[in-house]
Each structure stands twice: as C-alpha cells, then as structure tokens.
C-alpha cells in the first residue's frame, strides 16, 4: 500500500467495509441467498441493517480534517459483526446456509 509515502503529499488512503446496509441491493441479496440467511445475518449484526446515512457519515468523517491523521486503514461499519467473527461470538450452527450445505448430497 502507498498510504505512508503519499501522506507526504497530503494524500490519505482509507477504505470502508460496510455490513448490511438497507438499500435496494438487499432485495437482490435476499433473492439470491434467501430470506433466512439475510434474517440470520441481521440477527448477528445487532438486529438491524444500517441506514445509508450511517455509512455516509463515516465517509464524510474520513474525508474531513478531523480525520487528518487517519491513513492506510480500513474502517469496518458493520455494527460489530467482524469483531464477533474474530472473537468467536457468532453461532454458525444456527446459520441457514450451513444447514443447507450439510444436508447436500454434493
């Protein structure tokens, strides 16, 4: 990554990794993956999807002077879902997709 060298020129490189966001794209996800997996993911993400404005607020912050020393990072905007994964707090046994794969004859 070029974040550190570019910082000398006043350029910051950051990214965001959003979780479930309540947008029209959710309907496509529901169609392709099924309502049960979407419901499960929502339940594991604090019981709700984020509003688009919540992600926009984080992006506005990263682009502001208040974040002038934040560089070369990825901001997780997923209501703690990623943290729950890395600390083994997700109950995968209740995940519908796992059941579907387990019962498959493939």
CATH of the domain at 21: 3.40.50.720
Q: Are 20 and 41 in contact (CB under 8 A)?
A: yes
- In a domain? residue 101: no
Residue 71 has what pLDDT?
97
What's the domain range around 15? 4-85
- In a domain? residue 68: yes
- What's the rounded Cα separation, in Å, for the pair 106 and 102? 9
Instruction: Read off the pLDDT of residues 37-49 as tens digits, 9 standing for 90 and up.
Output: 899 999 988 899 9
At 104, is the pLDDT very low, low, confident or very high (cuts 50, 70, 90)? low
- Average pLDDT on 71-75 reads 96
At 97, is the pLDDT very low, low, confident or very high (cuts 50, 70, 90)? low
- In a domain? residue 26: yes
- In a domain? residue 63: yes
pTM of the model: 0.76
Number of domains in the chain: 1
Select from 79, 77, 62, 72 the least CA-distant residue to 17.
Answer: 77
Residue 58 has what pLDDT?
96
- In a domain? residue 102: no
- In a domain? residue 40: yes
């Amino acid at each position: 990554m070029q974040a550190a060298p570019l910082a000398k020129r006043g350029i910051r490189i950051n990214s965001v990794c959003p979780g479930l966001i309540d947008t029209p794209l959710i309907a496509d996800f529901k169609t392709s993956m099924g309502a049960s997996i979407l419901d499960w993911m929502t339940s594991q993400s604090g019981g709700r999807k984020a509003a688009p404005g919540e992600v926009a607020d984080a992006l506005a912050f990263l682009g502001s002077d208040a974040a002038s020393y934040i560089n070369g990072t990825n901001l997780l905007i997923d209501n703690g879902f990623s943290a729950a994964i890395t600390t083994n707090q997700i109950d995968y046994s209740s995940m519908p997709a796992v059941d579907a794969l387990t019962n498959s004859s493939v």
